[in-house]
Amino acid sequence: MTARALLASIFVLWLSTLTATAHPRPPAPIEPSATILCYHIVESPLDPRMEISRDAFRQQMRYLASTGYNVIPLQHLFEYVSGKRATIPKNAIVITIDDGWRSTYTEVFPELRKRHFPFTVFIYPRIIGQTSYAMTWKQVKELSDAGVDIQSHSFSHPYLSHRRHTSLDDKAYNAWLQRELVESKKILEHQTGHEVTFLAYPYGDYDHTVVAGVARAGYLAAMTCESGPVRRGSDPLKMRRLAVEKQTDFASFRRFLGAGSMPVDPISPAPGQTLDPIDAVVTARLPKFKSLDPQSIGISMMGLGTTPFSYDPRDGSITVVLREALNTVKGKYQHALIWATEAKSGRRVEASLLVRFPDPAIQPVPVPDPAAIVRTDALATTQAVLPAPAIAPPATAPAPAVLVPATAPAVPAGGSADGKAAHVALRHSTQP
């Protein structure tokens, strides 16, 4: 190559680099993913691990309903994973319930039906009607007729991998595995009148032999107990799920769904000042607003649902008027949850403000509460406790309303023991 040709090549390379720098390629769009939630028992029977309280479950569902999440059917996620559906909504959630416990019918069904949330129940037929803590076939059919997706959790909820059944040779093991998978599918289809194509691995136990057997039995997708999001191209026979357990407090629940912490600065009222009950306006500022997608920002009063608000993208200020809520809110304290999506990473971030409402029957006095405590950890699990003032206000004055950054408190698990029958009914409930 001559010197002139070499110089020409260098010039072309430099020019192409300059052009690429002047006109950078736009970042590739972030494809949505989904989180599959796995529940077992709500409130009863008392279980040392997998049961969660009624209040905790309702708080989690209220959070999903009011903070920009989209609950979708498992079928839609399967179609997206396998390339049959073009996309799914952002912040997609799938709700699944394992085993067939009575609380699926008495606690889960009413709550999710009220919110129009689709959900899937993975049932192992051997438990149905065999204990007072399990559903009956009549209840299973009622769920199915109401549109609830009924799918398989094997026939008797055993460990499925061969290493758990060393007394069986290959032929005997394969025959046993097919019975567990096929019998469950046949019984559930007979009882509901609907095709069964999904399976949840009991205890999350599977290997390549189990996966092959699941496919031979006619299943199209299967759920594991491995945490993580489900994306386009994920293996449909190894779909991840997040198990929600007794120890999953509200802050952990939010983190597990991918919510990061977002700083927030209260503006009006300032910490330690009273919320004006006439205007009842709360204003805060998001210090890192330039890194957020302005179209993704939302705010919700957890006890009131999605709340109308205004957002100024010039300075990151967000304002909500709570005038109407003063006479309708239940309880003295309400959490305002602010959420957004980071523009570059697509990650969801959240912050929480604690609002103390005045008694609507009493007129306020313009005295700040010196006990107001500022919290900066948006996902802290311990709520600041506001002690009562040393001197009680006059009869015509209400307790002042205070706004402090905080987070929704952890909800204590609850339940009641039910004697020997509970012990018998929980043979399989202490594992996913």
User: Are the beta carbons of 181 and 150 closer than 8 angstroms?
Assistant: no
Between the ranges 209-223, 339-353, 364-378, 409-423, where is the mean pLDDT highest? 209-223
Closest CA to 290 of 353, 343, 339, 243: 343
Q: What is the pLDDT of residue 307?
A: 73
| Structure confidence at residue 388 (pLDDT) | 43
- DSSP assignment of 354-379 equals EEEPPPTTS-------TT------TT
Model pLDDT, residue 7: 59
The answer to whether residue 376 scores a pLDDT higher than 70 is no
More confident residue, 398 or 6: 6
- Residue 331 has what pLDDT? 57
Q: Residue 303 has what pLDDT?
A: 67
**More confident call, 47 vs 315:** 315
Residue 423 confidence (pLDDT): 35
Selection from 213-222, 297-306, 397-406 with the highest mean pLDDT: 213-222
Mean pLDDT over the full length of the chain = 81
Give how far Cα 55 sits from Cα of 101, 117, 417, Å: 18, 18, 17
Q: For residue range 238-276, what is the model confidence (pLDDT) as tens digits?
A: 999 999 999 999 999 999 998 899 999 988 777 766 667
Is pLDDT of 237 > 90? Answer: yes
pTM of the shown model: 0.76
Taking residues 155-171, report their average pLDDT: 97
- Compute the distance between CA of residue 411 and CA of residue 102 in angstroms, rounded to an integer: 22
pLDDT for 41 equals: 95
Q: Averaging pLDDT over each range in 162-171, 349-358, 389-398, 411-420, which range is the top one? A: 162-171
Structure token pair of residue 338 = 């602010």
pLDDT interval class at 413 (50, 70, 90):
very low
The pLDDT of residue 383 is 38
Candidates 112, 101, 121, 119; CA nearest to 47 is: 101
pLDDT surpasses 60 at 189: yes
Confidence of residue 219 (pLDDT cuts 50, 70, 90): very high
Please write the tens of the pLDDT for every residue from 66-114.
898 999 999 999 999 999 999 999 999 999 999 999 999 999 999 999 9
Overall average pLDDT of the 361-374 stretch:
49
Whether 42 has a pLDDT exceeding 80, the answer reads yes
Confidence (pLDDT) at 373: 44
Q: Is 130 left (phi over 0), alpha (psi -120 to 50) or beta?
A: alpha
Residue 431 has pLDDT above 80, yes or no: no
Give SS3 for 137: helix
Cβ count near 418 (within 10 Å): 15
